Structure 1
Amino acid sequence: MSKKKLLDLAREQIRLRHYSMQTEKSYVGWMKRYIFFHHKKHPVEMGKAEIEAFLTHLAVERNVSATTQNQAFNALLFLYTQVLGIPLKDQNIQALRAQQRVHVPVVLTKEEVIRILSGLAGVYQLMAYLMYGCGLRMKEVLQLRVKDIDFGFDRVYVWDSKSLKDRTVPLPQKIKQRLRLQVEYVEELHRMDLADGCGSVYLPHALERKYPAAHKETKWQYLFPMKTISTDPRTGLRRRHHILERTFGRNIKLAAEKSGIHKRVTSHIFRHSYATHLLQSGVDIRSIQELLGHKSVETTMIYTHVVKELNKESIKSPLDF
């Protein structure tokens, strides 16, 4: 079995399980690195010792983070168990682990959030308002469909999130009318696409087989579509995809630079700020956990540490005595 054949099989298995394109690229990339690290030896001829050597190499010589090392291990676990049918569960893989760093999230003040949001325009500003106003991850904003905005009950539905836990969050009243206008824009754009013989949108999992006509329905269209129609790299179909992550990220970066704020501003800072500001306003930690979609309250507890750090403002430096 050639290396190319093996990686093609890996891609097939990844797509069969409906993993994202990003996960596919990442997993296949780690499989390649693993094979090249062992001088193109086929994985069926390797096992526990070779996996441990590769993971230890990443931690010691490459100095990767614990998250990156775990991602590499998950890719190899997928390769052996799902592609090659070789179980690793009972092999007790032992490798020198990369150190897990505990990061305190950087947050913005409410005034800083406003300054950055003011530096954005049009649809990118609306998307950033949703990230801060609802505590959404970037991917969750990008993957919103028209049907996910419930104007009647003032809710935003978040499906198939990172935690695989569907949830709803309150719809911010401040942007309700702008969201209505965005839906109207998508409706008109979709009408034009249908008239041009297009109008199809990607549907997750088996929904396209279950509802064969849904891919051309307005409610399934992305809330924040690209201006142009593109070719789906997996199917070759021409569709209107959602705005790209890198495009949105670039706009956030430019807005942060214009604001004159010298904190490290990423898209995730809006989610961190959302949670911290809710906690500061008296919302309980369990409610914030549900709103963020965290599986465990321990994940959400990091924001209590952030608030404690911010509350140290009352402690003066000896220089100020």
Structure 2
Amino acid sequence: MDDIPIPLPARPVRFMHRLRAFMRGRQLAYRTEKTYCLWIKDYLRFHKMRRPEEMGKAEVDAWLCYLASQRNVAINTQKTALNAIVFLYRQFLGIELGRLDFDRTSKGRRLPVVFTHDEATAVIDGLQGHHRLIASLMYGAGLRVMEAVRLRVQDVDFGHHCIIVREAKGAKWRRTLLPKSIVAPLKAQIDLALSIHQRDLAEGFGAVYLPFALERKYPSAATSPGWQYIFPAPERSLDPRSDVMRRHHLGEQQVRRAVGRAMAQCGIRKKASCHTFRHSFATNLLASGVDIRNIQELLGHNDINTTMIYTHVIGIHERGVVSPID
């Protein structure tokens, strides 16, 4: 359960515990919390575990230059590290760093790897059960793996043929496509999930985790069918946030391993992963003539420039470009 925050003491004393508690008070996503803590620890180790209050602009510049020149990190990686340190000083410590002057990394952003349609369907065909359905959602609706495994029954609108992604990256909501080809298997999976939920209720369990203290506001929502995960975990487990025995959703790593095995069986040698399905969703829509703004909305990108990367991925033949020699 890698998306469940680690428990913290009631009265945090240690520096990282206080920092994590501060982040949770600001409603940062747990993935952001983990990423920021990772970079902040890296920064402190680089400076021999000195107290951050005793350091400032010069030390931050030195560390960011080290990431660029010695670690050779990518542009976006250095930006993430910078965001983490700025959060540490400006938000947590209340210290302004001023204008930073560090070497920008020269390692550019790579183009995303994409599947051809035949490759994507071959990988999906190599999967079974809920893994096959999750891969179909990633390719057919552009979902991230975490968004797919976290889907709840109420997130699928069969009447309007859409999926509501409520727990997306950055705590944003969006609507995306519901592929017609997976309507029947998705309904069957929901029926299975609800039957498991009924069994849990009969055994004295069945209360699912609710975000943002909704469980206190709506006491009966945790056991209602609409809030149940479509892809429940095979076993119940203890929720460290509340010490309640409940059924979580299927783990992301299980899906990643299954997709990796399917790619190996298909003989696909690309450096691909579950996220490649999302990239392939975008590039196939773009190649078929869908407006880039619509693709941006379906993917949930804030900035159109993030979506524009896919214009460099589609083949030049798909844009009507022919070599002079031909």
Residues 313/262 of structure 1: CA separation in 2 closer, same or farther (3 Å cut): farther
Correspondence for 1:120: 127
Residues 30/233 of structure 1: CA separation in 2 closer, same or farther (3 Å cut): farther
Matches within 5 A, 1:30-49: 30-49=39-58
Residues 169/198 of structure 1: CA separation in 2 closer, same or farther (3 Å cut): same
Shift of 1:177: 1.0
Shift of 1:189: 0.9
Quick check: 2:153–2:227 contact (8 Å CA) kept in 1? Answer: yes
Residues 176/76 of structure 1: CA separation in 2 closer, same or farther (3 Å cut): same
3-state SS, counterpart of residue 301 of structure 1: helix
String of CA shifts for 1:199-226, please: whole Å, max 9, x gaps: 2222222423332332222211111111
Correspondence for 1:7: 16
TM-score by length of 2: 0.88
Give distance in 2, aligned partners of 1:125 and 1:108.
Answer: 16
Matches within 5 A, 1:45-194: 45-88=54-97, 91-162=98-169, 164-194=171-201
Give distance in 1, aligned partners of 2:288 and 2:49.
Answer: 57
Shift of 1:308: 4.4
Quick check: 2:65–2:103 contact (8 Å CA) kept in 1? Answer: yes
Give distance in 1, aligned partners of 2:287 and 2:257.
Answer: 30
Correspondence for 2:225: 218
Shift of 1:100: 4.9
Letter in 2 for 1:86: I
| Ranges in structure 2 where 5+ consecutive residues have no aligned partner | 1-11
Shift of 1:66: 2.2
TM-score by length of 1: 0.89
Residue in structure 1 matching 2:251, options 223, 244, 261: 244
Residue in structure 2 matching 1:276, options 269, 278, 283: 283
Residue in structure 2 matching 1:302, options 301, 309, 319: 309
Percent identity between matched residues is 45
Residue in structure 1 matching 2:203, options 188, 196, 217: 196
Correspondence for 2:8: none
Greater Cα offset, 66-75 or 159-168: 159-168
Quick check: 1:134–1:170 contact (8 Å CA) kept in 2? Answer: yes
Shift of 1:312: 8.1
Correspondence for 1:265: 272
Give distance in 2, aligned partners of 1:220 and 1:246.
Answer: 23
Aligned pairs, how many?
315
Residue in structure 2 matching 1:18, options 11, 23, 27: 27
Greater Cα offset, 21-30 or 142-151: 21-30
Residues 212/53 of structure 1: CA separation in 2 closer, same or farther (3 Å cut): farther
Residues 219/202 of structure 1: CA separation in 2 closer, same or farther (3 Å cut): same
String of CA shifts for 1:279-314, please: whole Å, max 9, x gaps: 222222222222112222222222222224354897
Give distance in 2, aligned partners of 1:257 and 1:98.
Answer: 34
